[in-house]
Structure 1
Amino acid sequence: MGHKVPMTIATALHQIQNRQLILPAIQREYVWKPSQVIRVFDSVMRGYPIGSFLSWKVLPETVNKFRFYGFMKDYSAFDNRHNPVIDIPADREVIAILDGQQRLTSLNIGLRGTYAYKNHGGWANKPWSYPERRLHVNLAEEAPENELGLKYHFQFLTKDDVERAANDPNKQWLPVPEIFEASDTSAFIQLLARHGVGNDPDASALASKLWEAVHKTASLHFYEEDDQDIERVLDIFVRVNSGGTVLSYSDLLLSIATAQWEGDARAAVHGLVDSLNQTGNGFNFTRDTILKSGLVMADVGDIGFKVRNFTTANMAKLEAGWDAMSSSLHVAVGLLSDFGLSGGSLTADSVLIPVAYYVHQRGLDHSYRESPKTRNDRETLRSWVLRSLIVRGVWGSGLDTLLRDLREVIKSQGDSSFPVVAIERAMSVRGKPLTVTDALIDDILSLKYGKARTFAVLAALFPHVDTRNQFHIDHVFPATLLDKRSLRREKCGDGTPRFTPEQIDELIDRRDRLPNLQLLPGLENIGKSAKAPDGWLAEEYSQPENHSAFLARNALPQSLPSSVTEFMSFYDDRSVILTERIHDLLTSHVPDPSTTDTTALVDLDEELAEGDDSD
């Protein structure tokens, strides 16, 4: 490994532009935030070193063994986050970056391209929430006081941002890409004149400092590896990528898969993740979960994200079964959506893995989600999924061991139905029983409105809820009647405050906890609005039998509160009812196998299929 002659930033970017400097497929993608880009440019302006770079000279005979990508130039968090694939002629030598991609990409974006990130409060799924921004430097003054210790005022701006600052004497924004485009002294002088700062010594000095840092100062130092042994290069890559924005295990797995698959592993994985996350109301699955699912479904012995597991043989298994695994994952995510879960309520993504393995093992397709013949099995699966999400810690520590155990149970006993009895037994052995404790009940009853785990718990507790339809979490006693201002206005007959400050705090705290929450169909919840529950129920369910059925369905006491003075009593009564229901739902149904009729147990689990979710 040798040290190359230092080069200027402009030289490096021209090599990127001409595809002489490229990225091997083992590289992760661009992950830096705008603030990190700005910090690099501040360091460049100040003459600070921005670290050395490690490159790999790839000879023509090695080029066809790897897939290569170009550097990102116009990044968009909405629809352009993936590096472009490039084809390298077989007779061409190239230089691939092993370490320093994030820094070089940041320089490329700042000096040649754009960065589109979401406006604060903008819609995540709307393109107009991600306006195109170019990096600018303020020639009027240095950076305002800041916690990052930045000296120079760089900022990503839209055209509108620049226009709005046109009359601000403290803002003279110069687009940084124009510095790169001014490749010689003459072009730079014309640039200053065009922006009207040619006769401003301070502004000219700032612009000159940046121009010289880009075009004149040989600040980029490269170490170059010329060995063509891919295993050696991969080892170097792993070692040097242990710092900075740390290379995750899934990044590494994807990198190695991309290098070893005949197809485009990166495109396959990214495409699958994006597609799965668009299911139903949307999910937030990561590459980690999807790749771990792949290792489990490929029956790789050790499913841990460890370098020694990323063998050619394991990658070949993953690639050979990828299409079938992708189909199984689509069915599994569809089932989770059917169970009422989404990115906002699924708090343990790993629950997907055993569901996907069960689907994969049985070769199930989307008809399983709708067929009357599979209804009982779906309800059993739904019950288990949601109950496993209620109990804290099931999908935490010891995950790989648990997943291997569940895989073995499903493989040996899941040919015709979901083996819930054997699965819960295996979980109990691992110290993860789906059983009730006083601490668990207290934990569940203390769940608050707005928390992801709350929806799943409510769905688990109330079997009448068809979670494929839109349900809202509703305050039984309206939250608007339990706000601090309203409670302070409550008076006794003699005009004194009805509640002390401590009582008000307790009322407000209980207002948002589980005993005051229920699931209502969206339109019904909107219609209920801020009506007191006793009046609303009498109005909506005037027939006695319908009235009683609603109370039973939602585990509500026979008497509902009509005013805040009755709220605490109602809260305590419903806590008792919910405690009984939690016991019924979570009490273990995994008896001694020697005296158990498995079919009967599965039927019992079906009766308890009420759904649930985790924190």
Structure 2
Amino acid sequence: MAFQTPLTISEVITNIDSKKYLLPSIQREFVWSTNQITKLFDSLMRDYPINAFLFWKVSKENINEFRFYEFLRDYHQRKKRHNEKANLNGSEDIIAILDGQQRLTSLYIGLKGSYAYKLSYKRWDNDQAYPVRKLYLNLLTASEDPENEYEFEFLTESEAENKEDDLEHHWFPVGKILDLKEQSEVNEYLIENDLSSNQDKAKAKFANRALFKLHSVIHTTAIISYYLEQSKELDKVLNIFIRVNSGGTTLNYSDLLLSFATAQWDKRDAREEINQFVDEINEIGRGFNVNKDFVLKACLVLSDFSDISFKVDNFNKSNMLKIQADWDDITKAIRDAMRLIASFGFSRENITSNNLIIPIAYYLKHIGLPDNFEISSSKINDRAKIKKWFTLSLLKRVFSFMPDGVLKPVRDIIIKNDTGEFPLEQIIQHFKGGNRNLAFTSDEINNLMYSKYGQGNTLVIMSILYPWADLRNNFHIDHIFAKSGFTKRKLEKRGVPSESIGLYLENYNYIGNLQLLESIPNIEKSNMDFDKWIDETIPAGAVDEYKTKHYIPKHMNLGIINFQQFLEEREKIIIDKLQQALL
């Protein structure tokens, strides 16, 4: 391994663009945030070192012995996070990146591509939540962030062209610097955009200095220092990769384990299979949020390995080949388990630990992977037991620490079970009295009344209170007394005593004021007073049935003035139902 003559960034970008530089299959995927990318560019502009890179020269004779991927150019947080497999037919020698992929991808995205991340106030499955953004540099003023000198930002085209703040911002598209190869072209850009003649001399000087510095960083200064490994032995290259990447926090451990799988599977591409599978199952139902860690852990459990801990020794060649051989059954079991959980109404919004899904997948694999388990009429009792175990485990948070302490014993119980159904009672009995106890006490049930609107636990509790609701349909958690009415001014206007207003405002979001309604009735109810909505919407002969169904106290005035009494009475009814279900 020898140190090479450093390269300019423009040379490296050209090599990435022409696919001379590629990523070996043992590399993890791109994980940097926009903030990390802007800090990298700021560091370059300030002449800060960005450490050496490690490249691996692969001769054209040996290219087909390995798998390689292209650099990611246009990153999309939901739709495009995976690198495409490189087509190397007729290729010459290539350079594979062993260390420095995150930095090089960041440079490539900043200079040639885009970055689409989710807006915080929009749903993850909304295409409009991911506007395409490119990297820009403000040529008029320095950054207000004390950690950065230059203001680099990922902006949409419309944000960059916004003229309302022309005095403080001129957003230069960073990728355009690749077109300004000569210093004279930099001068021409400054003149054409009136930056060199800015009446504010300080801003004119800053623009001149910033754009020429960017030109120097990209085109002139040989910044990319690197070592070159030329070995043809995969084992040696893999060991170098592990030594370089596992010594710090630069490599996520699951990525390292996936690297082992990728290198050792001989009939499938582990990286491609696992990434595609993660994307697929995250789209089930209303969406899940599982990752490679979950799939790798599930593989260890479902393959019946005695040791299911996350460590390199468990990802040896024989284990990985067994996982490869069982891959179709493993993925069907996980897929069917997630469809079942989705049919219970659970999704990424209310599952506190994805590890809960693994025992269900193991059970389905253990009983032979029956088709249509989630809808089969012969499996009603079985599904009810699985749902109860899942619900109890969520509420008791038994997977909140050291999940192997649950996964292994539950797997053993499933293996020994001969009841013909999910061994709910045996699991509850096994953990009884310990710190993963699934049995509820009366005090714990009373504490569930403090679950609030918007919390994950709330839908779990609703699934117990509304066992008849098919949560695959569009049900909403609704405030019985509309939350819009809970302001101090509105409550005073309704005649609520001033000494009670604080209690009203503190309690309207708790479970005692929540019910499950289908979306259309919920929309119709909207902000109507509850007593008025019942009178106008529920037929007179069906009012008692509605109140029973929704745990509404009977024979009391349902005006807002009685909210405190309503809350107390309804919580008693709910607690009684939860005791029947959970004690």
Equivalent residue pairs, number = 576
CA, structure 1 residues 2+559, in 2 after alignment: closer, same or farther (shift >3 Å)? farther
Alignment of 1:178-193 (within 5 A): 178-185=176-183, 188=186, 191-192=189-190
CA, structure 1 residues 48+576, in 2 after alignment: closer, same or farther (shift >3 Å)? same
Pick one of 505, 526, 529 that aligns with 1:529. 526
- Distance (Å, rounded) in 1 between the aligned partners of 2:35 and 2:363: 44
Greater alpha carbon shift after TM alignment, 197-206 vs 61-70 = 197-206
Alignment of 1:376-415 (within 5 A): 376-391=381-396, 393-413=397-417
SS of 1:342 mapped into structure 2: coil
* Residue 80 of structure 1: aligned partner: 80
- Distance (Å, rounded) in 2 between the aligned partners of 1:102 and 1:291: 23
- Distance (Å, rounded) in 1 between the aligned partners of 2:276 and 2:305: 23
SS of 1:204 mapped into structure 2: helix
C-alpha contact 1:139 1:203 (8 A) present in aligned 2: yes
* Residue 200 of structure 2: aligned partner: none
* Residue 308 of structure 2: aligned partner: 303
Aligned-CA RMSD value: 2.8
Q: Establish whether residue 577 from structure 1 lines up as the match of residue 573 from structure 2.
A: yes
Alignment of 1:268-347 (within 5 A): 268-347=273-352
Task: Supply the AA of the counterpart residue of 1:552.
Answer: T
- Percent of residue pairs bearing the same amino acid type: 36
- Distance (Å, rounded) in 2 between the aligned partners of 1:543 and 1:131: 50
C-alpha contact 1:362 1:414 (8 A) present in aligned 2: no
C-alpha contact 1:328 1:365 (8 A) present in aligned 2: no
CA, structure 1 residues 562+554, in 2 after alignment: closer, same or farther (shift >3 Å)? closer
SS of 1:356 mapped into structure 2: helix
Q: How big is the shift at 1:357?
A: 1.1
CA, structure 1 residues 243+136, in 2 after alignment: closer, same or farther (shift >3 Å)? farther
Greater alpha carbon shift after TM alignment, 231-240 vs 185-194 = 185-194
Alignment of 1:110-509 (within 5 A): 110-119=110-119, 121-122=121-122, 124-143=124-143, 145-147=144-146, 149-165=147-163, 168-185=166-183, 188=186, 191-192=189-190, 195=193, 197=195, 202-242=206-246, 246-262=250-266, 263-391=268-396, 393-413=397-417, 416-428=420-432, 431-491=435-495, 498-500=497-499, 503-509=500-506
- Distance (Å, rounded) in 1 between the aligned partners of 2:229 and 2:514: 62
- Distance (Å, rounded) in 1 between the aligned partners of 2:101 and 2:409: 40
Greater alpha carbon shift after TM alignment, 299-308 vs 88-97 = 88-97
CA, structure 1 residues 198+243, in 2 after alignment: closer, same or farther (shift >3 Å)? farther
C-alpha contact 2:186 2:211 (8 A) present in aligned 1: no
C-alpha contact 1:26 1:254 (8 A) present in aligned 2: yes
Q: How big is the shift at 1:289?
A: 1.7
Task: Supply the AA of the counterpart residue of 2:498.
Answer: F
Q: How big is the shift at 1:43?
A: 0.9
Q: How big is the shift at 1:170?
A: 3.2
C-alpha contact 2:442 2:579 (8 A) present in aligned 1: no
- Distance (Å, rounded) in 2 between the aligned partners of 1:118 and 1:168: 27
Greater alpha carbon shift after TM alignment, 201-210 vs 122-131 = 122-131
CA, structure 1 residues 184+510, in 2 after alignment: closer, same or farther (shift >3 Å)? same
Q: How big is the shift at 1:236?
A: 3.6
Bigger RCO of structures 1 and 2 (CA < 8 A, at least 6 apart): 1
Task: Supply the AA of the counterpart residue of 1:260.
Answer: Q
The answer for unaligned runs of 5 or more in structure 2 is: 198-203
- Distance (Å, rounded) in 1 between the aligned partners of 2:127 and 2:474: 26
C-alpha contact 2:133 2:155 (8 A) present in aligned 1: yes
CA, structure 1 residues 550+157, in 2 after alignment: closer, same or farther (shift >3 Å)? closer
Residue by residue over 1:101-151, the C-alpha shift from the partner in whole angstroms, topping out at 9 and shown as x without a partner, is: 1111111111222223345645644545434333222223322x224x211
- How does the TM-score come out when normalised to structure 2? 0.90
* Residue 517 of structure 1: aligned partner: 514
SS of 2:98 mapped into structure 1: strand
- Distance (Å, rounded) in 1 between the aligned partners of 2:292 and 2:341: 18
C-alpha contact 1:73 1:108 (8 A) present in aligned 2: yes
Q: How big is the shift at 1:336?
A: 0.7
- Distance (Å, rounded) in 2 between the aligned partners of 1:478 and 1:53: 59
Residue by residue over 1:535-567, the C-alpha shift from the partner in whole angstroms, topping out at 9 and shown as x without a partner, is: 5445555556x4333333333332344233322
- Distance (Å, rounded) in 2 between the aligned partners of 1:490 and 1:513: 21
Residue by residue over 1:420-476, the C-alpha shift from the partner in whole angstroms, topping out at 9 and shown as x without a partner, is: 222222333764222122442243110001112101111113323232322221223
C-alpha contact 1:488 1:499 (8 A) present in aligned 2: yes
Greater alpha carbon shift after TM alignment, 505-514 vs 6-15 = 6-15
Task: Supply the AA of the counterpart residue of 2:426.
Answer: A
Greater alpha carbon shift after TM alignment, 527-536 vs 69-78 = 527-536
Greater alpha carbon shift after TM alignment, 559-568 vs 442-451 = 559-568
CA, structure 1 residues 90+243, in 2 after alignment: closer, same or farther (shift >3 Å)? farther
Q: Establish whether residue 549 from structure 1 lines up as the match of residue 545 from structure 2.
A: yes
SS of 1:296 mapped into structure 2: helix
C-alpha contact 1:64 1:90 (8 A) present in aligned 2: no
* Residue 607 of structure 1: aligned partner: none
CA, structure 1 residues 116+551, in 2 after alignment: closer, same or farther (shift >3 Å)? closer
CA, structure 1 residues 415+19, in 2 after alignment: closer, same or farther (shift >3 Å)? farther
The answer for unaligned runs of 5 or more in structure 1 is: 492-496, 588-615
- Distance (Å, rounded) in 1 between the aligned partners of 2:195 and 2:501: 62
Residue by residue over 1:327-378, the C-alpha shift from the partner in whole angstroms, topping out at 9 and shown as x without a partner, is: 2222111111111112212222221111111112223344222222222222
Task: Supply the AA of the counterpart residue of 1:574.
Answer: R
Greater alpha carbon shift after TM alignment, 227-236 vs 565-574 = 227-236
SS of 2:364 mapped into structure 1: helix
Q: How big is the shift at 1:250?
A: 2.5
Residue by residue over 1:557-579, the C-alpha shift from the partner in whole angstroms, topping out at 9 and shown as x without a partner, is: 32344233322222222222222
- Distance (Å, rounded) in 2 between the aligned partners of 1:210 and 1:458: 57
* Residue 564 of structure 1: aligned partner: 560
* Residue 55 of structure 2: aligned partner: 55
C-alpha contact 2:332 2:369 (8 A) present in aligned 1: no
* Residue 201 of structure 2: aligned partner: none
CA, structure 1 residues 554+175, in 2 after alignment: closer, same or farther (shift >3 Å)? closer
